[in-house]
Structure 1
């Protein structure tokens, strides 16, 4: 009996000892991930469940003889965010590293320091990876195969920016095999901004910045990258910062990336910051402006103002296909390539040459572009593709104007009324137009067409009344069935364009 009691107490002791040790075993819950660029330094971050001494072991070989201490820079949901800055590194050099927290070590992986201004490099652009883990995993796998030096994202990494759990399930867990060795830099998306005003986004990616002003820039190789905050299209502080930043850079290649596009023909048909930013991009000779928000791929032909024949042509690209559900894509003479497809963009920079390839989630080539820039001038082939910015402004103005939401349900005897605002956008010629029901919507709805002329510097406000012919269904997301769309015909400088607007949705006033 006494022996059994001793055996029981021994087993109980060792069980409690094991439980206690398990409780204090440190877990790396997010990361490690490469966080900030530096020519002779690298910043590595990770999250853990316990507050304890931590460091990064690293070296140019897998024998890790150097170390850099880490510090805790934040805490969320009882988890700690660690950061270590490795300094005194050689440029354009591969280093191996592991993160050590207490007795816990991460797997040994590597990073590469920033390339010099003469070293060729590659980067990947992608956007809107949220909500669809299976697709994002394929995008990450394709990215790893391409072995880029840098990844830039258009944001919307998660569906709900204020959800602590989603940051693991939507992003960190899926992207870990890429971001543990490749610098990943994202702009703020509206799903991060709307969730908690961008607080968790700032916490993980830009911890030293003000949550209300998340715009920034950095150099990488012979390129300068600028990220704009989509929440402030006309914020004077961001505009003046951008001007000063561009005046201080002498980088050969210049890129802007942001969440909402200035030009976008499908999906949301965004016209973000149209009255200010395209002129600034032209003035400061931006090569490519990347944006997301609409889940598709659009590459516009380069555009520049007709009234400034010696001005700089800018290419606009919508890349919102890294995981979220796809939107319809609209074709146009202004688009070099458009497709509703999950994708990423791989850009290689080598001296005077930029080579762009857009790759699907399955690895198929979707689009390609080559740009040569010598002595501040593009190659003739690139210039030959330039389109009129003024005409594109008018085209997208009409497209945006007829793609709207209604706050009243159209009935057979009581219409849904909507105001449409048309502006000439300083276009020098009169613009004849007609707005009408899309031919397939005529089966189920009634609307009298509206036609007229917009004169130079004129703003027209017109009303349309839409009646239904029968039953409709409206989803929780405001989708109306049967589809309700408008069309428009307009004439610019003797050229007639016919467009179809996006699906009109129902959003009652109390939903705003």
Structure 2
């Protein structure tokens, strides 16, 4: 009797991840409500999570009653406001535990780490380059990309390389982009400017490239909005009036993004993409 062929494995179910930066903020109660409505499997933050200085008190009184509801599924990254407190101690004390060296926010001397969900690797990086050993972070990133086994890769941090907003692009982020581009990563998620910007896939020099990274700037987590101050190529969508979050629906080989505004605001954006084939 011929052996029975094994059944093909069922494709993994889609997973949902929510992202935003620049959060608490006067409107973070409203954005936290949107997170609850989406009911994601994971939440990531793109820095400046608790204004104005990321103290432990600000995290406990502003962030914790709102976005803190999702702390057990949150994978944060630090912004410049976190470092208004020496060594971002309030940020690390909140996410890791008071005085704990290594925890949910990574090693407190580094602030970068990675995690996986479904067929996706997410890499949280620290764009406060003067506060850490940037060369060590870049070396670590290249190593994690070299050993990655996931089809799809997204990275996130605070300071964007490309932005239309009032801040200038952070050129020190270009080596991170280059490492991600060389490894055929798919998404970069950032904040810092308090608005929403979606770019078409591009290379680290800002040239349109179907094999490049799609950057989504989602500094809309709850702080007052910044206007746009310049034009850049490859911008597919932008809005400077809304607070809200980015909902990512992730399959094993592709993604869908939706900007979901807070109640009473109407701006929406949707996009899709297919993960690059990895070397």
Q: 2:273 is matched with which residue?
A: 371
Partner residue in 1 for 2:12: 118
Which residue of the other structure, out of 346, 353, 366, is the alignment partner of 2:254? 353
How far apart are the structure 2 equivalents of 1:353 and 1:343?
Answer: 23
Match of 2:234 among 334, 338, 362: 334
- 2:136 aligned with 1:237: yes
- Are 2:21 and 1:131 equivalent residues in the alignment? no
Q: Distance in 1 between matches of 2:20 and 2:204?
A: 28
CA contact 1:161–1:196 (8 Å) conserved in 2: no
Q: How far off is 1:184 after superposition?
A: 1.0
Q: Matched residues in 2 for 1:252 and 1:338: separation?
A: 28
Kept in 2, the 8 Å contact 1:189–1:230? The answer is yes
Return 5+ residue gaps in structure 2 as ranges.
1-9
Superposed, which structure 2 residues align to 1:262-411 within 5 Å? Answer: 262-304=161-203, 312-329=211-228, 330-340=230-240, 341-362=242-263, 364=266, 366-373=268-275
1:117 CA displacement: 8.3
The structure with more strand, counted as a fraction of residues:
1
- Deviation track 1:158-200 (CA, whole Å, cap 9, x = no partner) reads 1244533211221001224x416x6011101111112222112
What CA distance in whole angstroms lies between the structure 1 residues aligned with 2:278 and 2:203?
Answer: 16
Greater radius of gyration (CA): 1
After TM superposition, the structure 1 stretch with the greater mean CA deviation from structure 2, 334-343 or 116-125, is 116-125
CA distance in 2, matches of 1:313, 1:275: 13
C-alpha contact (below 8 Å) 2:119/2:251 kept by paired residues: no
The normalised TM-score by structure 1 is 0.47
* 85, 101, 104: which one aligns with 1:208: 101
Change (3 A) 1:310 1:197: closer
Deviation sequence 1:370-409 (CA, Å, 0-9, x none): 11347559xxxxxxxxxxxxxxxxxxxxxxxxxxxxxxxx
Q: Cα gap change, 1:302/1:205 in structure 2, threshold over 3 Å: closer, same or farther?
A: same
Unpaired segments of 5 or more residues in structure 1?
1-115, 378-512
TM-score by length of 2: 0.83
What CA distance in whole angstroms lies between the structure 2 residues aligned with 1:269 and 1:216? 26
Cα RMSD for the two superposed structures: 2.6
- Bigger RCO of structures 1 and 2 (CA < 8 A, at least 6 apart): 2
Q: Following the alignment from structure 2 to structure 1, what is the Cα–Cα distance between the partners of residues 56 and 215?
A: 33
Pairs aligned (count) = 257
CA contact (8 A) 1:343 1:360 kept: yes
Shift in Å, 1:257: 0.6
Where 2:268 maps in the other structure, the secondary structure is: strand
After superposition, the Cα gap between the structure-2 partners of 1:333 and 1:239, relative to the gap in structure 1 and judged at 3 Å, is: closer
